[in-house]
Structure 1
Amino acid sequence: MNYRILAINPGSTSTKISVYDNDQQVLVKGIDHLAEEISKYDRIQDQFNMRKEEVLNVLNENNIDIKTLSAVVGRGGLLPPVKSGAYLVTEEMIDRLVNRPVLEHASNLGALISHEIAKEIGVNAYIYDSVAVDELTDIARLSGVEGMDRASLSHALNSRAMAIKYAKENDKKYSDLNLIVAHLGGGISISIHEKGQMVDIVSDDEGPFSPERSGRVPCKTLIDRCFSGNYTHREMLKVIRGKGGIVSYLGTVDVREVEKMISEGNEKAKLVHDAMIYQISKGIGELSTVVDGKVDAIIVTGGIAYSNMITSAIKKKVEFIAPVAVLPGENELESLSLGVLRVLNGEEEARVYKEESLANA
């Protein structure tokens, strides 16, 4: 059976799309949205029609008839906690994302645009491995403060896709393996996958710093800064997400620039670069304890995984735990498309999104 799948991944200033015929990519395109255009909208949800029309225009320009699509999949947005895998986009999901989003985020538009295009041609719309995937065990959820439980927000889409890919390439089942996946990008998250379940994570605000996020910072110092009177709530959020990490030390979010600085003898750049590697390795080691050290492989992925300087240093620090596989790239469009292809092929079953059933999904 041949299937054609449109994948839509909205970001803050762009919308990336791809078309796959089964597992073969036939179109990939990034649509950039000018700052002047984005600034016209008060809420991210208000960008829906503009982004949808631009997606349709690109498909038309590339002679892709939407009537040939078998399914449409969007990046899963910030919903209440959901399980991994595929969810059918329902009216309840649309209502949540439009009227009661957990947080305004560009990825929320993935389901909205997918649903509208799919409805027009009479096929199903899906999300796959939402940002809100939550499979934490009860013991992993406790933070140390009553009423302040840990939340599962991570790069679930690419992390699970690379874990599944690793298993397949090694003739094993994802559900039979214990894998640690470190996603290294603008934000860094690390996850432990125990026999097919993402049972714990080190999120981007409780672990390694990254190019633009602070990671774990000293709580007392953070509280003092929050109440210093020198920062607004919004400014403090920016301190940890957007202005934290490498950019706070070196004024750049580009790891390639940092490595150029190092090659030119910049000692501070080397220290910051090494500290990020150190913290990533600590996070991997931390999660190895979740499965009593019985880790089958460690996977390093994300855009920063293209840096041999970083991946080789991480490997040196953690390969005593398990073999290290480097699968670079964000791979989000591929992950969305191949996830839904498994649903269409009957290898996975899509869940039906219903608010009242989330707790038992």
Structure 2
Amino acid sequence: MPEKAPVCSGLVERIGIEGSFIKHTVYRNGEKFSIEESGFIANHGEALRQVLALLTAGDYAVIASPDDIAAVGHRVVHGGEHFSGPTIITEDVKHQIKKLFSLAPLHNPVNYKCIEVAEQTFVNAKQIAVFDTAFHQTIPEKAYRYAIPESYYKENGIRVYGFHGTSHKYVSEQAVNWLKQKDSKIISIHLGNGCSITAIKNGQSIDTSMGFGPLSGLMMGTRSGDIDPSVIFHLMEHSGYTLAQLSTLVNKASGLLGVGGSSDMRDIRKMINEGNAAATLAIQLYAYRIKKFIGAYAAVLNGIDAIIFTAGVGENDSNMRAAVCSELEYLGIELDPTLNTAYKGELKEINTAAAKVKILVIPTNEEYEIAHQCYGLIG
């Protein structure tokens, strides 16, 4: 920092499921050198330990020792109302993150574990939390409050918080620069293992699909998205489900996995090609939910200048982009099939020339956004 070009980059995929692997790329003198290591990686703590080994040892090392690092930025999913920007991690901050475990059960415990591993490894570095909820602090009260008695908000903090804020912030800023207009109405669609959609007006989040926790809204890899609460009551009353069983059901056993048989979109596509009807239904449900939210947010924004597809599925699955954009001509959304299928990895328009709404594919860069915010905090 402050240069945007990375010294190295990497990714750990399929943590906790078959086919785990690590990609590690180093950039030197205008060239890049990559390795890939496979082997089962049980959890995020083990993943981070293997990443740290790659950073410090062998031909692809980029630091001599952990002391070369001044700051470590951590994506933390849930910050509640406590945090609206990047924050140096203290024992009190860790306590607040821990208090929110129940609101982000798939993420905050993992984030906390990685903070502890990083503290033990980069002893002299500042540990900084960048919260996914921070970008959504601009959502107005009429959008973040639930229609339950006010005491539950004041005493228990029950409200919409929103997530994927780091990603939505980054791609929406890229879109504003692309559009070259001060006033903008943008719908940002983040599709990965977790999925969310955000209405962004003049650079500020005004509504988003995830709510109190990162479970509501769109269908996801293992999460159900929106579900009638009556289903939960019914299963408790008539089938004897415990709260723990219900949490596992909607957080870890639903979504693409529950309907189609896998949480990975690539596996789902393979099963569709093999004639699997359940996988086909999973894709239809997934796209349908997104279209419903586009319509709702078009109303909230009173128009759309652009929609953004980003994250693993949004950037890489042209069939999903086509399914989402189909039959939305009345909103001015018209996809160019050739541009859509030809898309490769950089900010591009994939709409027709005559379309009133820009359809943008923008690779998210949460790592850069986190680093940028950390550098701004300590710089």
Normalised to the residue count of structure 2, the TM-score between the two structures is: 0.70
Give the structure 1 partner of residue 71 of structure 2: 71
Mapped partners of 1:258, 1:55: distance in 2:
28
Mapped partners of 1:25, 1:178: distance in 2:
37
- Aligned-residue Cα RMSD (Å) equals 3.9
Give the structure 1 partner of residue 175 of structure 2: 166
Q: Secondary structure of the equivalent of 1:182?
A: strand
Kept after mapping to 2: 8 A contact 1:213/1:243: yes
Counterpart of 1:261 (choices 271, 284, 293) is: 271
Kept after mapping to 1: 8 A contact 2:80/2:161: no
Deviation at 1:244, TM superposition (A): 1.0
Counterpart of 1:188 (choices 192, 195, 210) is: 195
Q: Secondary structure of the equivalent of 1:193?
A: strand
Kept after mapping to 1: 8 A contact 2:136/2:163: no
Give the structure 2 partner of residue 205 of structure 1: 215
Deviations 1:18-72 (CA, angstroms, capped at 9, x unpaired): 9999xx999999998843xx6xxxxx9xx6xx78765543322114134443432
User: In structure 1, what residue type is equivalent to 2:92?
Assistant: E
Deviation at 1:240, TM superposition (A): 1.0
Q: Secondary structure of the equivalent of 2:110?
A: coil
Q: Secondary structure of the equivalent of 2:109?
A: coil
> Could you say which structure has the greater relative contact order, defined with CA pairs below 8 angstroms and 6 or more residues apart?
1
Give the structure 2 partner of residue 301 of structure 1: 310
Counterpart of 1:154 (choices 163, 170, 173) is: 163
Mapped partners of 2:273, 2:135: distance in 1:
40
Deviation at 1:158, TM superposition (A): 1.7
Report the count of equivalent residues: 325
Deviation at 1:177, TM superposition (A): 3.0
Deviation at 1:191, TM superposition (A): 1.2
Asked if 1:130 corresponds to 2:120, the answer is no
| Gapped regions of structure 2 (runs ≥ 5) | 103-107, 333-356
Give the structure 2 partner of residue 272 of structure 1: 282
Deviation at 1:237, TM superposition (A): 1.0
Asked if 1:93 corresponds to 2:128, the answer is no
Distance 1:267 1:117, change over 3 A: closer
Deviation at 1:115, TM superposition (A): 5.4
Give the structure 2 partner of residue 241 of structure 1: 251
Kept after mapping to 2: 8 A contact 1:76/1:127: yes
Mapped partners of 1:87, 1:133: distance in 2:
14
Give the structure 1 partner of residue 145 of structure 2: 142
Distance 1:134 1:188, change over 3 A: same
Mapped partners of 1:286, 1:80: distance in 2:
25
Mapped partners of 2:219, 2:234: distance in 1:
20
Q: Secondary structure of the equivalent of 1:79?
A: coil
Deviations 1:302-329 (CA, angstroms, capped at 9, x unpaired): 211211110122123446253221225x
| Gapped regions of structure 1 (runs ≥ 5) | 39-43, 346-361
Deviates more, 1:158-167 or 1:79-88: 79-88
Deviation at 1:138, TM superposition (A): 0.6
Deviation at 1:17, TM superposition (A): 9.0
Distance 1:159 1:2, change over 3 A: closer
Match runs of 1:33-52 below 5 Å: 34-35=41-42
Give the structure 1 partner of residue 56 of structure 2: 60
Distance 1:60 1:267, change over 3 A: closer
Normalised to the residue count of structure 1, the TM-score between the two structures is: 0.73
Q: Secondary structure of the equivalent of 1:120?
A: coil
Q: Identity of counterpart residues, as a percentage?
A: 22
Give the structure 1 partner of residue 359 of structure 2: 324
Q: Secondary structure of the equivalent of 1:298?
A: strand
Deviations 1:80-105 (CA, angstroms, capped at 9, x unpaired): 3355542233343134335x444452
Asked if 1:105 corresponds to 2:109, the answer is yes
